Structure 1
């Protein structure tokens, strides 16, 4: 009886989400992640240019990436069937940790199966009730959940508001450890955190700076080293978190990188690290290859910057309002959830895959279609996408 009642309550909640036009569906794709994908709809299969993936460098289906994964599958097997401290550490894991450390110019790195795991593992391990964490209001859900798992005092400041951040630091002045936690790039808006100002305040008040650079690593900065390089503070950030599931091959896995002492303590006590299987060797090997390609095929960063600027300029000229500024995350701000859902569906019908976001993924009244540019896109792709947005935007009254 109880189970039936519980199920009925869940159905009512789902029906309410549908009635509000907020129900999210998952589009099934039948091809590798790339510039274009084949999608399966309710009644047919179609091909679409892909403008909604985190495949910033266009490496997700790179032949060298796939070859590295195949080679590691043959040499190291599919998985480690164990956690790292038992018999789950391979030479490939050590190589990737060293590569990340050298790339970000830090002492050491620890791998996780996802950046979500890395963030939840970091805060609960390093911070106790005597400590404080000061978090940007727009931080990723993994940072928010990680902070909730810790016993630290919690302070939150409006995104990018340095006066509010300073007030939070003053309020936490008596705490043992103070950590300022921020995304390097805010994933819903494409805004880049004010890391230079954050580092200045951290040094003034004796705080550590924690940056989740999942959408910055491999994407911005002169050599792809992310938001810290982009703002000239690469040596001033204390702890980095990041993912390999976006620009760096699109597989999975995450990391924490920083001082030896931080990483060593995480290896001893971080629960997601201690109680989860090690990253699969084929994914580790393909990620190592992605770092090589980031350096050897540096045209990808330059082209990504070019197509991003073109999309933003042309969309603005048509009357659309875009969030962020120079990042490949280029959200087309629409406000209304139904409008975002309707336009997203119409774009897909036209052959352009770009997903609408609305509450609770973003705040109420802030619905958008989040476009993400890739080095795999051509200039012609971008121009065609803008034309589709313009035609469909006029049809639905989003622009004149």
Structure 2
């Protein structure tokens, strides 16, 4: 007898519940800002990716309203039929200019961007060598291709060299890495990875979801930080939902990349175009980060202060180099309990355990933003000190 839908749902949910992996997202009752209201409690928010405070920024809301009134609620079609509005192409030129690349194309999310670009670019006979800690969207995107896939040790140029030397091909060779790794907060050594890729004629593909708006001059990203923004053998992809405060994804690089993706990227070909209000908000975000250098200055000042104070308290933040600041609690149960206690003290910070992160490295991932005040950070640090001592993580 076949399994019923009810049985399948009960089995799967029961399994998740027993393993402690069943998710119940907390609900924000106000805009996603440095201070917000979550599940009925006023909290300091260390859980969001709103690096520059753009999710509720007045300039972005004003541009969104302007585009909404002028262009309507939706685009009305996929881009290749009747959904490409002038504002879509204007925004893509704006991204290409900002990223210093030959072209850019906007898709619907960072996740679907990796699916679309990897699926549109790679074919049987190609070789992909991917960092072992790359984002799930890269892993899933590569699963959809017929390219030969190899995995190199995290941020290890020598292991990358070994794999490229052992697996030659007449097809395209692609080295794939995150720019900033979302769980540990470390930065890919692009200077060394690109050098190794070039030894073997490989293209470097950088998912800069957590680097765009954070790294490089005016937030141009990790590729810009390492000086490769004009290189035709480097492809940049990322999301528009983190530092940029909206939703969507982008691919930027060689002048012909955009045209190929328009014809081959399935998420682009089969999804209705972005709503005008979203395009307006994102366009304003790129303008604002270039107009106001204090945004990134505050982001990094807050980052340095928070990390230094955590170190002083005795916490391990895994030598994070970016605003992503993990605080290690070891066992998943300890990280989840710490998150609950912090929430009771008015700090919204989420615990992460296996399989999201390795066993014995369960943590709370904190992201400070440009919008946090010193008072916010001091209150969070005081709560961390109290919880860390109560759980025996620090003295």
- TM-score norm. by structure 1 comes to 0.95
Residue matched to 2:295? 300
Residue pair 1:21, 1:337 contacting (<8 A) in 2 also = no
Between the aligned partners of 1:302 and 1:308, the Cα distance in structure 2 is: 10
Residue pair 1:85, 1:274 contacting (<8 A) in 2 also = yes
Residue pair 2:181, 2:188 contacting (<8 A) in 1 also = yes
Residue matched to 2:29? 30
Q: Unaligned regions of 5+ residues in structure 1, if any?
A: none
Between the aligned partners of 2:378 and 2:227, the Cα distance in structure 1 is: 33
Query: Match of 1:203, SS?
Result: helix
Question: Does residue 242 of structure 2 align to residue 246 of structure 1?
Answer: yes
Query: Match of 1:257, SS?
Result: strand
How far 1:140 sits from its partner (Å)?
Answer: 0.5
Q: How many residues align?
A: 394
Between the aligned partners of 2:319 and 2:219, the Cα distance in structure 1 is: 19
Residue 306 of structure 2: which of 304, 307, 311 is its match?
311
Q: Unaligned regions of 5+ residues in structure 2, if any?
A: none
Which structure 2 residues correspond to residues 6-25 of structure 1 after superposition, within 5 A?
7-25=6-24
Residue pair 2:228, 2:234 contacting (<8 A) in 1 also = no
Between the aligned partners of 2:172 and 2:12, the Cα distance in structure 1 is: 42
Query: Match of 2:230, SS?
Result: coil
Which structure 2 residues correspond to residues 181-330 of structure 1 after superposition, within 5 A?
181-236=176-231, 238-248=234-244, 250-330=245-325
Between the aligned partners of 2:348 and 2:239, the Cα distance in structure 1 is: 23
> Which digits, 9 at most, give the CA deviation of each residue in 1:308-355, with x for residues without a partner?
011111111111100343200001112211111111111111111111
CA 1:22–1:399 in 2, change beyond 3 Å: closer, same or farther? farther
Query: Match of 2:296, SS?
Result: helix
CA 1:336–1:201 in 2, change beyond 3 Å: closer, same or farther? same
Residue pair 1:184, 1:212 contacting (<8 A) in 2 also = yes
CA RMSD of aligned residues (A): 1.4
Residue matched to 2:115? 120
How far 1:16 sits from its partner (Å)?
Answer: 3.8
How far 1:142 sits from its partner (Å)?
Answer: 0.6
How far 1:54 sits from its partner (Å)?
Answer: 0.5
Query: Match of 1:360, SS?
Result: coil
> Which digits, 9 at most, give the CA deviation of each residue in 1:230-265, with x for residues without a partner?
2233233621101110111x2101011111222211
Query: Match of 1:128, SS?
Result: coil
Query: Match of 1:52, SS?
Result: coil
Residue pair 2:101, 2:229 contacting (<8 A) in 1 also = no
Residue pair 1:308, 1:326 contacting (<8 A) in 2 also = no
Question: Does residue 154 of structure 2 align to residue 176 of structure 1?
Answer: no
How far 1:205 sits from its partner (Å)?
Answer: 0.8
Between the aligned partners of 2:388 and 2:358, the Cα distance in structure 1 is: 22
Between the aligned partners of 1:300 and 1:116, the Cα distance in structure 2 is: 26
**Runs of 4 or more consecutive aligned structure 1 residues displaced over 4 Å after TM superposition:** none
Between the aligned partners of 2:251 and 2:196, the Cα distance in structure 1 is: 22
Between the aligned partners of 2:8 and 2:171, the Cα distance in structure 1 is: 45
Residue matched to 1:351? 346
